Amino acid sequence: MSVLLSAVATLGAIGAGSAAILYIVGRKFHVEEDPRIEEIQEALPAANCGGCGFPGCSSFANACVKADTLDNLFCPVGGQETMNKVASILGKTATTSAKKIAVVRCSGSCDERPRTNLYDGVSNCTIAAALYGGETGCSFGCFGLGDCETSCTFDAIHINPFTRLPEVVEDKCTACGACVKACPKDIIELRKQGPKSRRIYVSCVNRDKGAVARKACNVACIGCSKCQQACPFEAITIENNLAYINDDKCRLCRKCVPVCPTNSILELNFPPKKETPPAIKEEATVNA
């Protein structure tokens, strides 16, 4: 019995000593957390989506407190209003950022991009992309298996069952970028939402030469440069047989749209253009 009591006493002493050591070490190396971090967290939408470039809202709040300026920090879910609140807490100025939205740069529906084979595997774009180029002649196009839809926590993107292409729900999209990261074909891009949600972009990522791209998809960009020549603002570049519209330079004049021979340039949410009626020629009066 005495041996047992001695063992218990020894273990108790060791435990108490360890607790004392941990307490002293904890007090010595304790780091006070800036109370503003918690304030900022409360101002954030708590989506923890990673769209800001940080693992979660807590990391983003910590970065905001430590940063000298908020120039390179932005919460896409909360938007400008949230960043203004963060700036107010920190006594800093929030940079005004244009609202962005996810854009699907592929118009190769089942009608425009005929299937040449059938994929019979796991319904996952990433896995399919690792195995082969796709069910059509376009190895750059959308698989339509829904990795983007699964990744979105805001229910803002869905696969259309008829076209087998993703469609973005504008009112729900927060530009968090989750769908962009999920797409193995780099088809989805974050672009400026534009005034009145009006946008112009090349809905194609096919980098094959014109004839090959057109054979695979009726609405593929063929890199003909007609859009580039029509743009008065130098907003369009041609690289690797593919046109790209820079939304920082684009002035939404729409001059590039009608000159595209394959209709691969999309214009969203614009009113229909007014057609100019043909001039009426005055008939010459013949005097008898």
Residue ranges for the known binding site for [4Fe-4S] cluster are 49, 52, 57, 75, 138, 142, 148, 152, 173, 176, 179, 183
What the block records as the tokens of 18 is 């360890």
DSSP-derived secondary structure letter, 287: P
Contacts of 22 (CB under 8 A, 6+ apart): none
Which amino acids are annotated as binding site, given as ranges? Answer: 49, 52, 57, 75, 138, 142, 148, 152, 173, 176, 179, 183
What the block records as the tokens of 263 is 């209709």
Q: How far is CA 130 from CA 140, 142, 168, 184, 205, in A?
A: 13, 14, 25, 9, 18
Contact 134, 98 (CB under 8 A): no
Residue type, 52: C
Contacts of 261 (CB under 8 A, 6+ apart): 222, 224, 226
- Of the candidates 115, 105, 80, which has an alpha carbon nearest to the alpha carbon of residue 203? 105
- H-run or E-run covering 9: helix 2-28
What is the spatial distance between Cα 41 and Cα 50, in angstroms, rounded to a whole number? 14
Number of Cα atoms under 13 Å in the Cβ half of residue 32: 3
